[in-house]
Structure 1
């Protein structure tokens, strides 16, 4: 029974938020790790039904959308839901702000950090193949 105590919520080591300094910004961004349940919810929302062979519907996983959404969900600072930031960039919504605020290379750096702190090391292509089956 004592071995079970190591898994009780109060005994689990917390994963710290991570900071990432991007060259174009004076301050570092702060990212938080994603829980498995949150990642799964995002993943489920990234499937689309598309016409496949002979008109049969197939579920297709949108990797780009998944990557963007886990990054947006991980943001602590700056707050991508900030009306002031969205107004300044001329967009509405955290997803649109993220897409307009960061360059492609910066978005890749953010994705790498999010996957690192969240423990997402499995190749996304494996997830796609598993979802297809």
Structure 2
């Protein structure tokens, strides 16, 4: 008989906030992150797709840069990119514009590291071999 106990709602934990030091603009800052849900990930992926038809064939194009921007914004708890005060201090309106403005003061490698941290926190960093090994344990 299958044991459903492991799949009851009370057995699922809410995602915890993870604090990590991140170098931005040449200075180390403490940032806080929370993994997004699979539902939020699906919504973001759908918003970053462009569907066209070419000779009767459906063509789906994904904008990886837009996806990463939205994932960073939704995963980052501190600083809150949706903060009106923070946006005002950078002279922008909107979370995406704020992140883009902050990128102008970051080194390229710093942004790559931030992207990597956000990917890791959301579980995108695991290879198929990692997942197979994890399933064995």
**What TM-score do the two structures reach when normalised by structure 1?**
0.76
Looking at structure 2, the residues matched to 88 and 55 of structure 1 have their Cα atoms a distance apart, in angstroms, of 48
Looking at structure 1, the residues matched to 70 and 32 of structure 2 have their Cα atoms a distance apart, in angstroms, of 16
Picking from 31, 34, 38, the partner of 1:32 is 34
Tell me the residue number matched to 2:130: none
SS in 2 for 1:28: strand
Quote the offset at 1:3 in angstroms: 2.4
Tell me the residue number matched to 1:109: 113
Structure 2 unaligned runs (5+)? Answer: 128-137
Tell me the residue number matched to 2:100: 99
- Kept in 2: contact 1:15–1:117 (CA 8 A): no
CA deviations 1:14-62 (Å, max 9, x no partner) are 442222212345641111101111111000011124575x697733111
TM-align CA RMSD? 2.6
Looking at structure 2, the residues matched to 21 and 121 of structure 1 have their Cα atoms a distance apart, in angstroms, of 18
Matched pairs, number: 122
Tell me the residue number matched to 2:10: 10
Tell me the residue number matched to 2:45: 43
Looking at structure 1, the residues matched to 69 and 41 of structure 2 have their Cα atoms a distance apart, in angstroms, of 12
